[in-house]
Amino acid sequence: MDDAKFIDIEGVEMVFHTKKGVFHALREINLKVRKGEFITLIGHSGCGKSTLLNLIAGLTKPTEGVLLCANREIAGPAPERAVVFQNHSLLPWLTCYENIYLGVERVFGKTETAAQLRERTMRALALVGLTAAESKRPHEISGGMKQRVGIARALAMEPKVLLMDEPFGALDALTRAHLQDELLKIVAATQSTVVMVTHDVDEAVLLSDRIVMLTNGPAATIGEMVEVQLEHPRDRVALAQDARYAEYRSAVLEFLYRKQAHPAKEAA
């Protein structure tokens, strides 16, 4: 298998048919993601980031073009591509442990014993530092903890690809920073391939190996890409003083606020 195009998106177009007519959301999307690479998708609101992520997840099908994962066409959702949404989608009547166990059982239930499934679940809880919260229900824990359970559930399924749609968008700045740091450590340990949607330029530079910038919609496409060649492990405090960090940040800001400056339609 070719690790350089672990995820291979070729000539993807996405057109929605709505009551108001035809809406061309994405055009000519071509992207190859390396195995183990961390990609962020960034662009103005409504440009099509979630649409692209949903296509990789297999939740929707492209109007044209093809998406491959490990050489196989993405034909629908599968545990090999786990998704973490902004609003953690935990089942409220189950404990943290049970929420994770459910996913683990779905993937490994046919081949492993109950003891092995339990061990996997506990390992995932430990990975996100939530061993002590195993018996708590979602309403008993904070937003950040819920998001960690969502990430643990996704990771416990040992996905080939972790897809994240603004996973930290609803969190306060300190919790967000803490989870970003944890995610970096987890990804380093699991060697996961990650595609993450974000609005946050600092988050994109801190986490990514490559930042994929989308032009404004309709018919959005990939405008520019930045390879972030900062060594791992990354330390946010040290990076704040790093000239390269500032350069990457400027490149993204330049794209978003000069080249793709939104027409002031909200103001009209």
Query: Which residues of this protein are in contact with ligand ATP, per CB under 6 A?
Result: 16, 18, 23, 25, 43, 45-51, 217
Q: What are φ and ψ of residue 197, in 5° steps?
A: -90, 135
**Which distant-in-sequence residues (6+ apart) come within 8 Å of 233 by Cβ?**
184, 185, 188
Q: How far is the CB of 137 from ligand ATP (least distance, A)?
A: 29
What's the CA gap between 140 and 125, in Å, rounded? Answer: 16
Q: How far is the CB of 14 from ligand ATP (least distance, A)?
A: 8
CB-nearer residue toward ligand ATP: 118 or 199: 199
Residue 202 to residues 99, 164, 206, 248, 253: CA-CA distances in angstroms?
Answer: 31, 16, 6, 9, 10
Q: How far is the CB of 240 from ligand ATP (least distance, A)?
A: 26
CB-nearer residue toward ligand ATP: 43 or 62: 43
Within 10 Å of residue 8's Cβ, how many Cβ atoms? 19
CB-nearer residue toward ligand ATP: 48 or 150: 48
CB-nearer residue toward ligand ATP: 16 or 108: 16
- Coil, helix or strand at residue 228: coil
Q: What are φ and ψ of residue 245, in 5° steps?
A: -60, -45
Q: How far is the CB of 118 from ligand ATP (least distance, A)?
A: 37
Q: How far is the CB of 211 from ligand ATP (least distance, A)?
A: 15
CB-nearer residue toward ligand ATP: 27 or 81: 27
